[in-house]
């Protein structure tokens, strides 16, 4: 684990596959950790949680088919403790349920007959309190979900839904001359206070390797690249989860090495003011991991979770809040 990147070029070079592994290891040993500066927070790994997958009930015993998130919901409770609980939700029909957001709880319900999909917001008792149809016979424009956070559920066309009420808080950007493709991982974050989007997109093929982490401000006429695409001969770094600190200064990124077979998973902190990554940690160096999520708690606690083999693992980090403009929510 490297608490601080002493050289951005080191990370770029090693991940790009353009240097010898021996050089990267030596450089990392001598320069991987360096004294922290007053301008950036310290970040520590303070614990790991592991919860076994919930078994999906069969169609004969329950109307619920398999859950895309393997039955685990992660969130911080009122005492700022990480909670990972089994997911249980019955739709009353043969539908697949995917957890878009843990708190407030929002599900994506996709049904084969009649064919359609809807977003559902649940209250503290697990009961539906709002519903928003995104696909169906009566829907003129069929929509897709690109990402979700407590700030908003983002649909294609960059329409944003309030996760508390299900109401539209930002209409589709039909007049914008630029729209992200969002074809790879569909990780996107919307900040209502500044009406800003942060998103990851990439195009990786034999002849083309481009993309990265982008920012888009109103009037959404152009994009700004914050991080370039890191790639090597056998894969590339995919950003599958994005969250933000309470003062909107730091982005928390969940990454994985997209390759055939096993790869690493990584939690990183990106300083928006300094325009650089100030921390990264790889809880797993070689695993077949997916479903990366980031949950932000109070007083600088952040949880990075991912599914691995037969368990959902969550690594809890402590960010030094003394450097933040205001306490994390």
- d(C-alpha 93, C-alpha 84), whole Å: 26
- d(C-alpha 147, C-alpha 165), whole Å: 17
SS3 302: strand
* pLDDT confidence of residue 18: 42
pLDDT surpasses 90 at 251: yes
* pLDDT confidence of residue 223: 83
Weakest-pLDDT range from 11-25, 204-218, 257-271, 273-287: 11-25
- pLDDT tier at 54, thresholds 50, 70, 90: low
Most confident of 1-15, 82-96, 199-213: 199-213
- pLDDT tier at 290, thresholds 50, 70, 90: confident
Q: Which CATH class is domain 36-323?
A: mainly beta
Residue that has been written with the tokens 């002849």 in this structure: 207
Q: Which is more confidently placed, 321 or 73?
A: 73
- d(C-alpha 103, C-alpha 108), whole Å: 14
pLDDT surpasses 50 at 321: yes
**What are 208's two structure tokens?**
């083309």
Mean pLDDT of 222-237: 84
Burial class (CB in 10 A: 0-12, 13-18, 19+), 141: exposed
Q: Which is more confidently placed, 46 or 73?
A: 46
Mean pLDDT of 13-37: 37
- pLDDT tier at 80, thresholds 50, 70, 90: confident
Q: Which is more confidently placed, 70 or 276?
A: 276
Of the chain, the end-to-end C-alpha distance in Å amounts to 26
* pLDDT confidence of residue 183: 52
The pair phi, psi for residue 55, each rounded to 5°, is -75, 130
- H/E segment holding residue 12: helix 8-16
Share of the chain above pLDDT 90, in %: 19
**What are 47's two structure tokens?**
């614990």
Weakest-pLDDT range from 91-105, 122-136, 234-248: 91-105
How far is CA 124 from its chain centroid?
A: 23
pLDDT surpasses 50 at 236: yes
Domain boundaries, the chain: 1-35, 36-323
Give the model confidence (pLDDT) of 109-143 as tens digits.
888 877 889 999 988 887 889 999 998 877 777 78
pLDDT surpasses 70 at 33: no
pLDDT surpasses 90 at 163: yes
Mean pLDDT of 288-315: 84
Q: What is the mean pLDDT of the chain?
A: 75
- pLDDT tier at 30, thresholds 50, 70, 90: very low
pLDDT surpasses 70 at 74: yes
- pLDDT tier at 59, thresholds 50, 70, 90: very low
Q: Beta strand 301-308 with 289-296: parallel, antiparallel or unpaired?
A: antiparallel
- pLDDT tier at 329, thresholds 50, 70, 90: very low
pLDDT surpasses 50 at 162: yes
Buried b (16+ CB within 10 A) or exposed e, 84-114: beebebebeeebbbebbbbebbbbbbbbeee
């Amino acid at each position: 684990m490297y608490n601080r990147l002493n050289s951005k070029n080191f990370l770029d070079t090693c991940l790009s596959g353009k240097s010898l592994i021996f050089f990267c290891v030596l450089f990392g040993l001598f320069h991987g950790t360096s004294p922290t500066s007053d301008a950036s927070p310290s970040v520590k790994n303070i614990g790991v949680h592991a919860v076994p997958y919930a078994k999906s009930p069969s169609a004969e015993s329950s109307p619920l088919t398999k859950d895309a998130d393997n039955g685990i919901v992660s969130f911080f409770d009122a005492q700022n403790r990480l909670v990972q609980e089994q997911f249980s939700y019955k739709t009353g029909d043969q539908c697949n349920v995917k957890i878009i957001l843990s708190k407030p709880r929002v599900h994506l319900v996709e049904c084969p007959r009649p064919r359609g999909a809807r977003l559902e917001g649940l209250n503290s008792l697990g009961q539906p309190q709002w519903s928003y149809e995104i696909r169906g016979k009566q829907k003129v424009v069929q929509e897709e979900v690109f990402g979700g956070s407590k700030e908003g559920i983002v649909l294609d066309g960059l329409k944003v839904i309030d996760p508390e009420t299900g109401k539209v808080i930002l209409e589709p950007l039909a007049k914008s001359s630029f729209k992200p493709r969002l074809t790879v991982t569909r990780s996107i974050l919307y900040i209502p206070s500044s009406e800003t989007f942060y998103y990851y997109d990439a195009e990786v093929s034999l002849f083309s390797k481009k993309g990265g982490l982008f920012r888009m401000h109103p009037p959404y006429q152009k994009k700004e690249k914050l991080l370039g695409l890191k790639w090597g001969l056998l894969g590339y770094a995919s950003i599958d989860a994005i969250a933000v600190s309470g003062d909107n200064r730091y982005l928390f990124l969940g990454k994985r090495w997209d390759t055939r077979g096993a790869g690493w998973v990584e939690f990183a902190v990106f300083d928006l003011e300094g325009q650089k990554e100030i921390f990264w940690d790889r809880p797993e160096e070689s695993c077949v991991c997916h479903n990366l999520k980031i949950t932000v708690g109070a007083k600088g606690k952040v949880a990075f979770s991912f599914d691995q083999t037969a368990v959902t693992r969550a690594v809890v980090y402590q960010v030094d809040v003394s450097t933040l403009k205001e306490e994390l929510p």
